[in-house]
Amino acid sequence: MTIKRELMIIGCGPAAITTAIYAARKRIDVQIISEDVGGQVATTFGIENYPGFRYITGPELVEKLAEQMNQFDIDKQIGERVTSLSRVDGGYVAVDGSGKEYSARSAVVATGAHPRELGVPGEQEFRGKGVSYCATCDAPLFSGATVAVVGGGNSALSAAFELSRIASKVYLISRRQWRANEAPLIEGVKAAVNIEPIIGYVVERIAGEDVVKGVTVKPLEGEGGVRSLTLDGIFVEIGLRPNSALVKGLVGINDFGEIIVDCHTSTGIPGLFAAGDVTNVRDKQIVIAAGQGALAAMGVFEFLLKGH
Ligand X SMILES: Cc1cc2nc3c(=O)[nH]c(=O)nc-3n(C[C@H](O)[C@H](O)[C@H](O)COP(=O)(O)OP(=O)(O)OC[C@H]3O[C@@H](n4cnc5c(N)ncnc54)[C@H](O)[C@@H]3O)c2cc1C
Annotate 6-42 with DSSP letters as a single string.
EEEEE--SHHHHHHHHHHHHTT--EEEEESSSSGGGG
Q: Which stretch binds ligand X (CB under 6 A): 85-93, 111-119, 157-165, 256-264?
A: 111-119
* 8 touches ligand X (CB under 6 A): no
| Helix/strand/coil for 121 | coil
* 239 touches ligand X (CB under 6 A): no
* 111 touches ligand X (CB under 6 A): yes
Q: Which is nearer to ligand X, 126 or 201 (CB)?
A: 126
* 109 touches ligand X (CB under 6 A): no
Q: Any catalytic annotation for residue 134?
A: yes
* 152 touches ligand X (CB under 6 A): no
Residue 302 contacts residue 265 (beta carbons within 8 Å): no
Q: Any catalytic annotation for residue 138?
A: yes
**Closest Cα partner for 240 from 125, 137, 122?**
137
**Closest Cα partner for 208 from 117, 127, 116, 119?**
127
* 82 touches ligand X (CB under 6 A): yes
Choose which of 5, 7, 8, 14 interacts with ligand X (CB under 6 A).
Answer: 14
CA-atom Rg of the chain in angstroms: 21
Q: Which stretch binds ligand X (CB under 6 A): 23-31, 35-43, 162-170, 173-181?
A: 35-43
From the candidates 96, 134, 232, 277, give the one annotated as an active-site residue. 134
**Closest Cα partner for 83 from 253, 293, 249, 258?**
249
Q: What backbone torsions phi and psi does residue 159 show, to the nearest 5 degrees? A: -65, -45
* 131 touches ligand X (CB under 6 A): no
Sequence-ordered list of residues with C-beta below 8 angstroms from that of 247, at least 6 positions apart, any chain: 85, 109, 253, 259, 274
Count of Cβ atoms closer than 10 Å to residue 24 Cβ: 19
* 35 touches ligand X (CB under 6 A): yes
* 16 touches ligand X (CB under 6 A): yes
* 39 touches ligand X (CB under 6 A): yes
Residue 232 contacts residue 147 (beta carbons within 8 Å): yes
From the candidates 12, 96, 137, 232, give the one annotated as an active-site residue. 137
Q: Which stretch binds ligand X (CB under 6 A): 37-45, 153-161, 186-194, 200-208?
A: 37-45
Q: Any catalytic annotation for residue 12?
A: no
* Catalytic sites, residue numbers: 134, 137-138
Q: Contact residues for ligand X (CB under 6 A)? A: 10-16, 33-36, 39-41, 43-44, 47, 49-50, 81-82, 110-113, 115, 133-134, 137, 243, 246, 276-277, 284-287, 289
